[in-house]
Amino acid sequence: MSPEDLSSRTLRFVNVAHALDHFVLLIYPTAVIAIASQTGLGYGELIGLATGAFVAFGLCSLPMGSLADRFGRRNMLAVFFFAYGLSCLGVASATSTTAFAVWLCVLGLASAIYHPVGSSMLVTHARRLGRDLGINGVWGNFGAASASGATALLATTLGWQAAFVVPGLVCLACGAAFVAMVPGDGDGEARKAGAAGVIPVTRPMALLAMFGVAIFAGGITFNVTTISLPKVIDEGVGQALSLTSIGSIATAVFVFGAMTQLLMGRLVDRFGLPSLFLGLSVLQPVGLGIAAATTGPLLLLGLVLAIAAIYGQVVINDAMIARYVPAHQRAKAYSLRYFVGFTASGFVVPAIALLHDRGGFPLVLGMAAAFGALIWVAAFGFYRLVRGDARPVLAAAE
């Protein structure tokens, strides 16, 4: 197999894996509505059972880069497909709250593999970094966008168990195809594209601090919005909606995030990352603030703005690592990036349950808006630091 063919196949499976990663992780937040109606348990208690999944999703991201360096990225992505499929079947078999908690934790562990490994594979095989990051982001967003609608459809027609069984079988089939069609890691036809253009900085620790704050706060806003979105729509649109309608509206909101990721991917190849990051970060506190203070169509408008900014930031953050981190350190850098971002999700699930019980989703979304404002502060600090690094270079050129 030629390096070009290997790169093309690898990118296709990396994109599919991204869609599955977000799809499967967001099955439970919608399925829980159907589970609650069948078991008589409250939403807060049931959504709290997912805490282990999201904690594992964050904590277990940290060692994945090292495991990929040791066992190969291709092998780790194969483990992702098979482990994800089996964990879906495990959740479908759960008959008690303990079983739900255990299998959701296993699902979170499997989901932790993708982002550190898949992001490193994508950057290695990318031909045009921004474009391929944007396309990959759209696949991930497609998974997140379709999760609510597909889960609602399966749960209402075949039962909530089918909402896990069907994606589980798809994951297993994709794993078998991946192993058969992608024989190894390869160097990638466009490894030079992934490795080129590393930007030197004079204050790496200060930039890392700003980036870390943005990643952590972004993890909060990302997970608050994606996890609670179906229930926010259920309570905030202002009329009684069926589960299928809730899922369809949530899917429509996520589509705007997909379009933003595609746009940001194109812009990354043309404009400076700090400027893009600063401009996009304004939309998160604005959108979340509108959603927290309103109901009906205005609430949906706020959610659209927030989702667009949240998913656009994902592309920018991944591009920053590709542009500021040397190639031999990227797998570990992506592990650390997703560890920080996804560890935040471990705080989000119990926080949603607690704040929802005390003040409803206006309080939940208000908290998320505060973290959105923190992202803007971090983006502004990053922009000023990078701008300061650029001034001596310009002066010397004159």
Query: For 240-264, what is each residue's pLDDT tens digit?
Result: 677 777 777 877 887 777 788 888 8
Q: How would DSSP label each residue in 151-195?
A: HHHHHHHH-TTHHHHHHHHHHHHHHHHHHHH--S----TTHHHHH
The total domain count for the chain is 1
Domain assignment present for 73: yes
Q: What is the CATH number of the domain that holds 313?
A: 1.20.1250.20
**Backbone torsions φ then ψ of 185, nearest 5 degrees:** -70, -50
pLDDT for 398: 33
Are residues 18 and 139 in contact, defined by beta-carbon separation less than 8 angstroms?
A: yes
pLDDT for 160: 86
pLDDT for 2: 77
| Residue 51 to residue 28: CA distance in whole angstroms | 11
- In terms of pLDDT, which residue wins out, 391 or 77? 77
| Residue 353 to residue 243: CA distance in whole angstroms | 20
pLDDT in tens, 291-310: 999 888 898 899 989 988 98
Alpha-helix runs per DSSP H in the chain: 3-25, 27-39, 43-48, 51-59, 64-71, 73-92, 97-111, 114-125, 129-158, 162-181, 191-195, 204-236, 243-268, 273-281, 283-293, 296-324, 330-397
**Backbone torsions φ then ψ of 94, nearest 5 degrees:** -70, 140
Domain assignment present for 396: no
What's the pLDDT band for 392 if we cut at 50, 70, 90?
very low
Domain assignment present for 249: yes
- Comparing 227-241, 257-271, 276-290, 301-315, the range with the smallest average pLDDT is 227-241
Backbone torsion region of residue 238, taken as left when φ is above 0, otherwise alpha when ψ lies between -120 and 50, otherwise beta: left
Domain assignment present for 353: yes
Domain assignment present for 395: no
Q: What share of the chain has pLDDT > 90, as a percent?
A: 24
- In the chain, the amino acid numbered 173 is A
pLDDT for 350: 81
- Comparing 2-6, 144-148, 200-204, 330-334, the range with the smallest average pLDDT is 200-204
Residue-number span of the structural domain to which 73 is assigned? 3-390
Domain assignment present for 369: yes
* Averaged pLDDT of the chain: 83
pLDDT for 175: 95
pLDDT for 104: 92
Q: pTM for this one?
A: 0.74
Mean pLDDT within 224-236: 82
Residue 39 clears pLDDT 80, i.e. is over it: no
| Residue 141 to residue 77: CA distance in whole angstroms | 19
pLDDT for 375: 94
Domain assignment present for 325: yes
